[in-house]
Structure 1
């Protein structure tokens, strides 16, 4: 559609939904709903809660990182056709795919079918089909309904992904990475990118992060899987594995896939680390800094330091006295360990 037509819908949510509904990619059983800065195109029974979640996620992001003009849309299609993505982006939205429980079941089924067919290629067809039937019988029983209400964990995950996109829009805008350069999210360091996402999570996911930390503590392990120096300089543990999967799927855009069995095991092996522990450490470090500084928008300041070609060490050197923090990251790591130990002790 012409740019001018899309632009006319920017301040008219009803018009934007009407335009979207007239597109060939818009499924007959979808609905479109806008709530503040959130838009959802999905099953009619889900659009209100999805749009509300995204509107809340923008507000939550702003509470930590400052004002943004970016809005977030979620669409029940993966991948979204270019014309659909263009329509929403020209109206000021970044776009996420929405995968319902029923859609995930279909993706997992496809993953299992692909693996069985690959692993039994040399066998007679009847034997292959028998093995496939046996493998599929092990999957979750019962068909999920596309209209089933999203769980709190699903909604928290949606807000998490919105956090990634909002930080990327704030830092990078429409910039594209140089050829050959690969990033997990924005051009910010991966720890800051992930921190923006976990700060956007709901109480359900936040509680699960602390549960994971307490489990490690009960096992006699440090709740922090990485030293602070490692955490501040490392790539996201899933980056390399995600790129391999993306390349196999043809690359490009936000494409939702599901991995199971051997594929999921290979993904974790190729990651070179447990992404869950990266999320846990991002949450603990975020809460430590918020508590230590008493500044809800301390990460807005730190993000600005990185945008000015600085880093956390530079920010600390300049601001440590104002916040009563150590002047270097080595001493900050000691304070972090002490804070985490005290925080988790409160839960015992």
Structure 2
């Protein structure tokens, strides 16, 4: 059993280290205090871990869960949408409720998956693009901190790609520790702490944040999660998986967590043959990863304090390095079909612009503009032939 246990350890470390900075930065962007951001990170860690353990154990499959990385990127991009964290939590709650409905009403899940792939991918690419610019900006603004991070990422990307982002985060942490001194650690709460947040339901925030969060979580995480598992021969039961994702998101939202969903990239580590030659024993990897996620959640206070002590551009730069692969995949999917490239590019440009119209964020408008252009270009405008004579 050593092999699946080691696969679970590698998966959990990779998943946590590669994007926890993005989760905290995203929660800060929509108005969370340090205590609320720490609580949110703790909530999504623990609930993701428990979902991994319970479903993997119950179905004897390497079913794995994680927080929504595209969703966290959306929070960073939606910084101008709201600074009222209670309203953001209301949007998180709506997102979770919609995922629950997808589990109970399969027709809605099918409808979400039928959103044209070029538009959904272009919207995600537009969300990720400004974040992926951050390594360049940070290298100019704070080269003494950012350049060692970027160089470390480049070295590991060539030699051990899986560890490139965790290694970059370690170098960033060292740089922050040297420049900030020990003050950030004395302010950290070493004991795990959950902060209950009473949600507020602002219709504009729900439209500009809650609905896009639901779409990117379903299209960018849950649907690929099912696909990855199917690739390795596992037929994951959709209803329990979506109910776990939705109820997990609803529960986490009350403590500041944004979204819980099926894992995709790290799922491939645990569901693939490297986990164990016998596919019936790979579920142990997901249980192991789940246990580690719970343990990592207990250090959420320290992680949040470290991130809060850093220049924001440095944290966004590390997140940008982590999301480069996701950006490449999103752009490739968006422009794959030549017939839909113009609607996809329009969606990308509007989303990446960061515009907010009537207090509704750019992700919603990007999807709307792309949809209108796609319908306009596909409408049969051929004139009716006039038949002369009788």
Query: Greater relative contact order: 1 or 2 (C-alpha under 8 angstroms, separation 6 or more)?
Result: 2
- Whichever structure has more helix as a proportion of its residues is 2
After TM superposition, the score normalised by the length of structure 2 is 0.27
